[in-house]
Structure formats: C-alpha cells, structure tokens
C-alpha cells in the first residue's frame, strides 16, 4: 500500500507542476476546464498522500485546493449550461 500511496502522491505533484507550467507558458488557460481538472486531480493525489503520511498541514492545504477546484468546475459547468 505504501508504494501505491507514494505513486498517487508523485502523480499528484506531477499534475500540479504540469498545470502550472502549461498556464505559465500560455499553452493552457487558467480559467479553462482542463486546467481545473488537472488541479483537482493533482490536489486530491497530494491530499491522499499527505493524509496517509500524517502530514496534516499539507493534507489541509490540498483539501482547500481541491475545494477551490470543485467550485471552479461547478462555475464552469453552469456557465457552459447557460450558453
């Protein structure tokens, strides 16, 4: 189980870094669906890893990060539905 949780954490970190790099290089929009999904998946991966390893400050940070992602996705979905 340790290896699986470590892999989930590394994948989460890679997703967050990739999302940041893509937005910073203007290859992805910061308010787009793809970026929000990348951020949500990355933060959930890191949150699971942090909680498993009892790194509570990091787990809390990533919980908030995931919540922000969910709110952004809800707003994007509502905006698309209103079109």
pLDDT one-digit tens code per residue, 2-61: 999 999 999 999 999 999 999 999 999 998 999 999 999 999 999 999 999 999 999 999
Give the list of residues 6+ apart from residue 35 with CB closer than 8 angstroms, or none.
19, 22, 23, 28, 29
Q: List, as one string, the DSSP characters of 26-81.
A: TSS-TTSHHHHHHHHHHHHHHHHHHHHTT-HHHHHHHHHHHHHHHHHHHHHHHHHH
pLDDT tens-digit map of 11-20:
999 999 999 9
**Rounded Cα distance, 55 and 32, in Å:** 30
pLDDT band for position 83 (cuts 50, 70, 90): confident
Q: Which helix (H) or strand (E) holds 4?
A: helix 2-24
CA angle 26, 75, 16 (to 5 degrees): 45
Tokens of 76: 């994007």
């Amino acid at each position: 189980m340790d290896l699986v949780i470590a892999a989930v954490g590394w994948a989460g970190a890679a997703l967050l870094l990739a999302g940041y790099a893509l937005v910073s290089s203007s290859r992805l929009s910061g308010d787009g669906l793809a970026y929000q999904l990348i951020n949500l998946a990355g933060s959930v991966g890191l949150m699971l890893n942090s909680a498993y390893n009892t790194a509570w400050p990091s787990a809390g940070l990533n919980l908030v990060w995931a919540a922000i992602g969910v709110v952004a996705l809800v707003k994007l979905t509502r905006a698309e539905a209103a079109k």
